Copies of this chain bind each other. A is one copy, B any other.
């Protein structure tokens, strides 16, 4: 499969568009993603893995957390245009706007993710 097809496949799912939308605000760990979107942990992990496989995201490990963020520097020029388009499209998706609001309320106590 070509890199371009992989990028479009990665974005051809509503959940992953929502994930990319909140990661455009700031990097998140898996448990933040699952809590903000209200999805299961395996689902969050798997969708993040697919976005990372398309090289749209990068990841770093810190303690027990795996932080994912948009790989602004790593993606080729055409993919940067697509990421911009996602940001534009998400502005018109009610669910995506709510996700951003929930993201601002996520907090952390010691090593526990709470939202």
Query: Known contacts A82-B85, A84-B81; is A8 also within 8 Å of B12 by CB?
Result: yes
Write the A14-26 contact mask toward B (1 if CB under 8 angstroms, else 0): 1001000000000
Query: Known contacts A5-B14, A9-B12; is A88 also within 8 Å of B84 by CB?
Result: no
The interface on chain A, measured as residues whose beta carbon lies within 8 A of the other chain's beta carbons, has a size of 24
| Residues of B contacting A5 in the complex (Cβ-Cβ under 8 angstroms) | 12-14, 17
| Residues of B contacting A8 in the complex (Cβ-Cβ under 8 angstroms) | 8, 11-13, 17
If over half of A's interface residues share one DSSP class (helix, strand or loop), that class is named, otherwise mixed; here it is helix
Q: Counting CB contacts under 8 A, is A93 at the interface?
A: yes
Query: Known contacts A81-B88, A89-B78, A93-B4; is A12 also within 8 Å of B12 by CB?
Result: yes
Interface residues of A (CB under 8 A from B): 1-2, 4-5, 8-9, 11-14, 17, 76-79, 81-82, 84-86, 88-90, 93
